[in-house]
Amino acid sequence: MVAPHFRTDSTVVEPFRDAEYPENPYPGARPDCSFVHVDGTGYPVLPDGTAPSGWRVVTDTERPCLNHWLATRGATPLHRRRPVLAYGSNVCPEKISWLRSELGLAGPAVVLRASCIDMAAVWSAGLRPRDGQRPAVLASAPGTVEQHAVWYATAQQRRVLDRCEGRGRRYRLVRLHRSHPVRLDDGTEPERLLAYTAADRGMTPLLVDGAPVRCSEVEQYGALALDGTPAVGDGLRCTEIVGEPAPR
């Protein structure tokens, strides 16, 4: 059975509110489109080669270039943000508002839908400290393709993600090698893509009968009941980032 948060629905083509995409149960619901998020509202983002940024924002009245939309809010343009793979709850609009209220996330969040090749979101051996739910962790999965997203994060936003993910304790920040392709809806592959992966044995993939369990196959309540052992590693080809990543 496919878990609800990964169900493929019709592409969203109009602005939406957080309440349409609740955070619980983890990893929450996600819109079937790229989007920008601010003030509890998500605005779909569509690829458009005629726009200077390559993307357009769908508002109630117009479809401005993404960089123009960001500029009108005094926000950092797309080309000065660093891409960070999001494969769990950070794709959920209501969770993004939680990052704002609880951890001080500032400015519009740019979340672009992406296809992840030869990687999968799988259930972790550890549990999330704040509510005891089982979180996702990234793992190598040859032959699979999953739909997730890439945050184009400002430096401040990425530091908030560091805090949320428990960087250095539960997760580590890495640069994924190109052997794990990630493609946006416009067909491009983000360069120097960052991701949060398991930092210690307690957060590595949970192995059940010797194999990890994909989040797309078992929902949260079933994941909590899984009985297995932590994997030795995640099989990813990546380089851990020490300190601040180089600016884009």
| Helix, strand or coil, per DSSP, at residue 96 | helix
Q: Which residue has the tokens 């890495």?
A: 174
- As a whole number of angstroms, the distance between CA 77 and CA 94 comes to 23
Q: Which two tokens stand for residue 96?
A: 């993004």
Please provide residue 127's backbone torsions phi and psi, each rounded to the nearest 5 degrees. -120, 155
Contact 182, 115 (CB under 8 A): yes
What residues contact residue 180 under an 8 Å CB cut-off, 6+ apart? 116, 117, 118, 119, 140, 236, 237, 238
What residues contact residue 239 under an 8 Å CB cut-off, 6+ apart? 174, 175, 177
Q: Which residue has the tokens 């739909």?
A: 147
Instruction: State the amino acid at position 117 in one-letter form.
Output: I
- As a whole number of angstroms, the distance between CA 54 and CA 23 comes to 30
* pLDDT at residue 10 in the model: 54
User: Within a 13 Å sphere around the CA of 116, how many CA atoms are in the beta-carbon half?
Assistant: 24
Contact 89, 96 (CB under 8 A): no
Instruction: State the amino acid at position 163 in one-letter form.
Output: R
Supply the angle between the helices 155-165 and 93-103 in degrees, to the nearest 10.
Answer: 90
- As a whole number of angstroms, the distance between CA 11 and CA 34 comes to 9
What residues contact residue 165 under an 8 Å CB cut-off, 6+ apart? 171, 173, 196
Buried b / exposed e along 6-31 (16+ C-beta atoms within 10 A): beeeeebeeebebeebebebbbbbbb
- As a whole number of angstroms, the distance between CA 248 and CA 154 comes to 10
Residue-by-residue pLDDT tens, the chain, 248 positions:
233 333 334 577 899 999 999 999 999 999 999 999 999 999 999 999 999 999 999 999 999 999 999 999 999 999 999 999 999 999 999 999 999 999 999 999 999 999 999 999 999 999 998 999 999 999 999 999 999 999 999 999 999 999 999 999 999 999 999 889 999 999 999 999 999 999 988 899 999 999 999 999 999 999 999 999 999 999 999 999 999 988 76
Q: Which two tokens stand for residue 239?
A: 């380089």
pTM over 0.75: yes
Domains and CATH numbers, the chain: 4-240 (3.10.490.10)
CA angle (129, 82, 202) in 5-degree steps:
25
Instruction: State the amino acid at position 43 in one-letter form.
Output: Y
